[in-house]
Amino acid sequence: MLVSLTVGKVDAGVAVLLTEDKRLIEFPSILLPPDIHSGSIVDINVGRNQHAEAVADQKFSALQSDIYTTFGTKSPSPPVLRCRNTTQTSVVLEWDPIDLASAELRSLSLYRNGNKAGTIPKDKLSTKISGLALDTEYTFHLVLRTSAGQYSSERLTVKTHTMENLSGITITPGVMPGQLRDSLAETVNRIGAKLLDAVRIDTTHFVCTEPRGQAWEKAVEMNVPVVVPDWVKGCEREGRIVGVRGYYLDADPKLRQMGTSAVQRSSVSTAAARESPRIEHTPPTPERPTRSERTPTDDGASEPPQPPPKFNQEQEREAEQQHGGPEEGAVTQASIAGTPLAERPRKSDDFSDDDDYDDGNESDDTAKAIEQGREEAESQPSGSQGGEKETTEGEAAKVAAEDGKGEFDEVAL
């Protein structure tokens, strides 16, 4: 088909062609003859190349087949999550290598109890979650995002251990004597813990006696607690996991927990539970009988000598008449009877020339004075004084003060 077009304008890259009905067509100027200019008329023959179309269709179909075979027959696999180790406060999770098929990895995220806990770095096959609560259940799952879509793993439920469960302890031994290493292996086996030859992500404690070696350096780099073998012994003795602060290589041994074993604590608690609670009542203190209430014993022996009865003023006068009146500076028996023992006068003979003075002499003189006063009181007739009341101790003290004026020096008893 032959078409005649008029050149309207020629530019560096595009020429404007006009049809007979005045339509504008932009045509590449590189396809026009080099000597054309505005107003030139060019003839263009237009036809269809069916052979070329068939060849292009075959090539396109082959390309689609290759794309489907490469990218359309296999899709990424969901991740498979497992638990490697569990302790009182941490969980170590691991999974198989991610199969992306022909897709590209966008991200791999870990979820805890339905909430995103973090994004896992590429080519990492394990992770450790710390800071968990004791004896608590947690649910974990992975979410894989790729260019082919999103895939989730099955949910994994893990429960942290109690303080008495030592099965989660994973120990890597370091530099120590051979005999101590054998003893450590036996202790680890008894408590149900695990022993590893190398430091891994699930290593909970590194046990050694000397801070050296590649394993020790890796443990320090991974922030694994480095303790002495006594820490394992302490866990066995206590029957529970103990703190590591007192068991570091440079720690003070006084900080270590030195208590009874779990078996001993169990026996003590069982024995205490068997004993029923008892309430002990202290009996009241019996009242001491007064002097007037004391009675002689059956064998005729009497209580300690009682003070003589208190004299009234008439009895004092009769006593003075019998003895010829009180001497100057002397004290009557009535005044002595009514005077407390602490204020009884001392005899001048009681003090010897020796420097050593025996307080026992004073108590003997007191007993003699009391006995003499009693004999004199019994010799007085009691009927004549029946209408009068006996004086009280306070009145007797007053009488003694008036008689002796409070002076009890050099009194002959």
The predicted pLDDT at position 70 comes to 80
Q: Are residues 174 and 154 in the same domain?
A: no
In a domain, 286, yes or no: no
Q: What is the pLDDT of residues 204-258, one digit of tens each?
A: 999 999 999 999 999 999 999 999 999 999 999 999 999 998 899 888 877 775 5
Of the candidates 106, 134, 159, which is a domain's last residue? 159
- Same domain assignment for residues 245 and 214: yes
Cα(290)–Cα(303) distance, rounded to whole angstroms? Answer: 11
State the pLDDT at residue 328: 44
Residue 56, domain member (yes or no):
no
Mean pLDDT value across residues 169-183 = 94
User: Residues 20-28: what's their mean pLDDT?
Assistant: 88
In the chain, the percentage of residues whose pLDDT exceeds 70 is 62
C-alpha–C-alpha distance, residues 273 and 374, integer Å: 65
407 pLDDT exceeds 70?
no
Closest CA to 33 of 21, 41, 45, 25: 41
Percent of the chain with pLDDT over 90: 43
> Smallest Cα–Cα separation from 165: which of 196, 140, 134, 143?
134
* Number of residues that this document lists for the chain: 413
Which pLDDT value is given to residue 285? 52
pLDDT at residue 360 is higher than 50: no
Do β-strands 170-173 and 205-207 pair in parallel, antiparallel, or remain unpaired?
parallel
Global pTM? 0.50
Q: Residue 11: which pLDDT band, with cuts at 50, 70 and 90?
A: confident
Q: Are 226 and 219 in contact (CB under 8 A)?
A: yes
pLDDT of residue 48: 86
**Any idea which of 106-115, 165-174, 299-308, 402-411 has the lowest mean pLDDT?**
402-411
394 in the same domain as 316: yes
In this structure, is residue 73 part of a structural domain?
A: no
Report yes or no on 86 lying in a domain: yes
Close Cβ partners of 288 (under 8 Å, ≥ 6 residues apart): none
CATH number for 242: 3.40.50.10190
142/95 Cα distance (integer angstroms): 9
Whether residues 31 and 87 share a domain: the answer is no
Query: Do both 186 and 228 map to the same domain?
Result: yes
Alpha carbon distance 131, 108 (integer Å): 22
Do 33 and 85 lie in a common domain? no
Total tally of structural domains belonging to the chain: 4
Q: For residue 398, what are the CA distances in angstroms to 311, 336, 411? A: 12, 11, 19
Q: Which residue has the tokens 């303080």?
A: 163
Mean per-residue pLDDT for 150-161?
A: 95
Enclosing domain of residue 32: 2-47
Q: Is the pLDDT of residue 301 over 70?
A: no
Is residue 291 one of the residues assigned to a domain? no
Q: What is the mean pLDDT of residues 48-73?
A: 89
Q: Does 397 reside within a domain?
A: yes
pLDDT tens-place string over residues 66-111: 888 887 788 899 999 999 999 999 999 999 999 998 889 999 999 9
Query: What b/e sequence results for 139-166 when a residue is b if at least 16 CB atoms lie within 10 Å of its CB, and e otherwise?
Result: ebbbbbbbebeebebeebebebbeeebb
Q: Which residue among 159, 187, 213 closes a domain?
A: 159
Q: What is the predicted pLDDT for the residue at 306?
A: 60
Distance CA 152, CA 81 (A): 10
346: DSSP letter = B
Judged against a pLDDT cut of 60, whether residue 405 lies above it is answered with no
What pairs with residue 127 in β-bridges?
A: 93
The CATH number for 129's domain is 2.60.40.10
For residues 113 and 187, state if they share a domain: no
Does the residue 61 lie in any domain? no
Tell me what the pLDDT averaged over the chain comes to.
Answer: 75
Q: Which residue has the tokens 């012994």?
A: 233
Looking at the structure, do residues 143 and 221 belong to the same domain, yes or no?
no
- Verify that 10 and 87 share a domain, yes or no: no
Give the DSSP per-residue string, 53-91. HHHHHHHHHHHHHHHIIIIIS--PPPP-EEEEEE-SS-E
Provide the pLDDT for residue 101.
Answer: 87
Give the per-residue pLDDT at 408: 38
Average pLDDT, integer, range 345-351:
44
Give the pLDDT confidence score for residue 32 in this predicted structure.
87
Least-confidence region, from 100-104, 106-110, 171-175, 353-357: 353-357
Q: Are residues 320 and 350 in the same domain?
A: yes
| Residue 309 near residue 337 (C-beta atoms within 8 A) | yes
Specify if 54 maps to a domain.
no
Same domain, 325 and 255: no
Residues 188-202 pLDDT 10s = 999 999 999 999 999
pLDDT of residue 1: 75
Domain boundary among 140, 159, 178: 159
CB 397 within 8 A of CB 339: yes
Residue 114 has pLDDT above 60, yes or no: yes
Q: Do 187 and 154 belong to one domain? A: no
